[in-house]
Amino acid sequence: MSSTSFFIIFLSFTFVVLLQEVASVDYGAALTKSILYFEAQRSGKLPPSQRVQWRADSALRDGSDVHADLVGGYYDAGDNVKFGFPMAFTITMLAWSVIEFEKQLEAKKELSNALDAVKWGTDYLIKANAQGSLLYAQVGDGDADHACWERPEDMTTPRISYAVDGGHPGSDLAGETSAAFSAAAIAFNKSNPTYSTQLLTHAKLLFEFAKSSQGKYSDSIPIIGKFYKSSDFKDELSWAAAWLHRAMNDQSAIEYLRDEETDRGDVRSSFSWDDKYAGAQVLVAKLILEGYLDESDETWAEYMTNAEAFICNCLGKGDNNIQRTPGGLLWFQPWNNLQYTTAAIFLVQAYSDYYANIQSDFTGCSEPVTTGDMYNFVQSQLDYILGVNPKNMSYMVGFGSNYPQKVHHRGSSIVSIKKDNSQVTCQGGIDNWLKKDAPNPNVLDGAIVGGPDKFDAYLDDRNNYQQAEPATANTAPLVGVLARHAAP
């Protein structure tokens, strides 16, 4: 046999193996775990329906320092702080997942669980906005929390409440929370119209507050800037307007998006908790594709052109393509890269479906792209995240046979309080659990960790927080994408 023939046979065999690996990815199982993850992140009094049994009630006095009820919501990542800005983005993306992929969630019997995940967040956000233009931005002292390693059930760090108001603006926080309320209102419109109406009331109030008292929330509350500093607030204003229009056909919201003073953003390099422009552009482009807005209008054309340029860059068929690892994963930055990947592929999948609905191929790139091409691209990214990659590692905890064991997450890395209710002290947690060279005792099912570096390498080490820490914003966009591929 010639060396050329041998090489061809080897390549063919490798391709077949890869196809078998791809075919074996169970998107339905991953979907179930992705939603389950949010139960592990719950703060407050857990309901009887709680499925993640290694967790228990926690932070039951949140808000008491300001004589308010701020119990509930989600812990952000591997810590025990409730950061309102990324939490609101998480809820928006969960709700958007329900809106776009309701049929698929229903087919996989996960719709009610997804709505429960949304409602756990919006119930808290309603409490955080109990008084008009007062909006609580954070509960917990970030510095004190990050200096300790304790379970949420027996943490001893201060639970300080921080807020924005008319005298201390937070247009970004208010705008994102308004978007979360609008998106959730659409998600609950059929199953709970009364709740939907309540959410819309908050959405409208916060959008007006965001416009009337402009400024960045991290300028009003500098301590927050250490953890989730906002780069701008104009993107959240556009994002909130786009969602308010979609939720209630609000013409003033369209007028705001059309206003020459409104910043439409340029072609974005990412979509995330801090930069919503690409998401707002996609929502406006959807209206153009549906014939609601006129593409010949230069303003609307700008939104659509920028949205499609971002999509093309993700697909590798644009003018400024997103970098990829040697194994093919979209690569944005070293710290928690997968949060950007999951958000990006959500936009690509949603946009692909918008085109499919009008029975047209996508023509915005440097070469023709079919909706099938876009679907396959998203699937390739999903498969990489779920284990079809150079390390054969699933970056969803609990999924597959090889996934991160030493996740940077306080609750999952310390023995459950239900198994051992001995107090875990601040330093004791560091000495006995953070530094422990052993797998986490509790599996954080469905969590998406930060992921591999730009060379596809991953270090499974609890202290490697850049790669090994999961966050709610990582998993939220993936819920919808998984539903779409679990029930195509």
Nearest one of 119, 103, 110 to 34, comparing CA atoms: 110
Q: Which amino acid is at 393?
A: M
pLDDT of residue 17: 39
Q: Is the pLDDT of residue 1 over 60?
A: no
Q: 15-24, 68-77, 189-198, 269-278: which has the minimum mean pLDDT? A: 15-24
pLDDT digits (tens, 9 = 90+) for 352-410: 999 999 888 788 898 889 999 999 999 999 999 999 999 999 999 999 999 999 999 99
Q: E strands, 419-462, where?
A: none
The pLDDT confidence band at residue 6, using thresholds 50, 70 and 90, is very low
Percent of the chain surpassing pLDDT 70: 95
- Give the lowest-confidence range in 8-17, 64-73, 217-226: 8-17
Instruction: Return d(Cα 171, Cα 152) in angstroms, integer.
Output: 30
* Angle (CA) 435 420 63, round 5°: 85
Q: How confident is the model at residue 15 (pLDDT cuts 50, 70, 90)?
A: very low
**Spatial separation of the C-alpha atoms in residues 362 and 343, rounded to whole Å:** 20
Question: Token pair 């994408």 is at which residue?
Answer: 481
For 469-478, the pLDDT digits (tens) are 999 999 999 9
Contacts of 145 (CB under 8 A, 6+ apart): 79, 80, 81, 155, 157
Angle at 115 between CA 110 and CA 118, to 5 degrees: 130
Band of pLDDT at residue 131, cut at 50, 70 and 90: confident
Task: Take residue 387 and report the two structure tokens written for it.
Answer: 């284990």
Residue 335 buriedness (CB in 10 A; 0-12 / 13-18 / 19+): exposed
CB 372 within 8 Å of CB 112 = no
The single-letter DSSP state of residue 66 is G
Q: Which residues contact 480 (CB under 8 A, 6 or more apart)?
A: 93, 96, 97, 98, 100, 101, 346, 349, 350
Higher per-residue pLDDT: 20 or 2: 2
**Contact present, 174 and 210 (Cβ < 8 Å):** yes
Per-residue pLDDT of 117-129, as tens digits, reads 999 999 999 999 9
- The yes-or-no verdict on residue 23 having pLDDT over 90 is no
Q: Among residues of the chain, what percentage have pLDDT more than 90?
A: 92
pLDDT digits (tens, 9 = 90+) for 137-156: 999 999 999 999 999 999 99
Active site residues: 408
Report how far residue 95's alpha carbon sits from residue 253's, in angstroms, rounded to the nearest whole number.
20
pLDDT of residue 12 exceeding 90, the answer is no
Q: What is the mean pLDDT of residues 18-46?
A: 86
In DSSP terms, which residues pair with 136 in a beta bridge? 163
Q: Report whether 74 contacts 121 (CB < 8 A).
A: yes
CA nearest neighbour of 464 among 406, 402, 383, 396: 406
Task: Judge whether residue 104 has pLDDT over 80.
Answer: yes
C-alpha dist (Å) from residue 153 to 16, 36, 45, 55: 48, 19, 10, 8
Mean pLDDT value across the chain:
94
State the average pLDDT over residues 437-455.
Answer: 98
The residue-averaged pLDDT of 35-53 equals 98
Model pTM? 0.94
Q: How far apart are CA 166 and CA 384, in angstroms?
A: 46
pLDDT for position 7: 36
Alpha-carbon distance of 282 to 67, in angstroms, equals: 41
* Integer Cα distance of 446 and 34 in angstroms: 4
Distance CA 407, CA 433 (A): 11
| Beta carbons of 285 and 351 less than 8 angstroms apart | yes
How far CA 289 is from CA of 2, 270, 297, in Å, comes to 54, 23, 13
Distance, CA of 102 to CA of 33 (rounded, Å): 17
Place of tokens 């791809």: 22
CA distance 283 to 55: 37
Q: Cα separation of 226 and 138, whole Å?
A: 13
Burial 15-44 (b: 16+ CB within 10 A, else e): eeeeeeeeeebebbbbbbbbbbbbbbbbbb
pLDDT at res. 254:
96
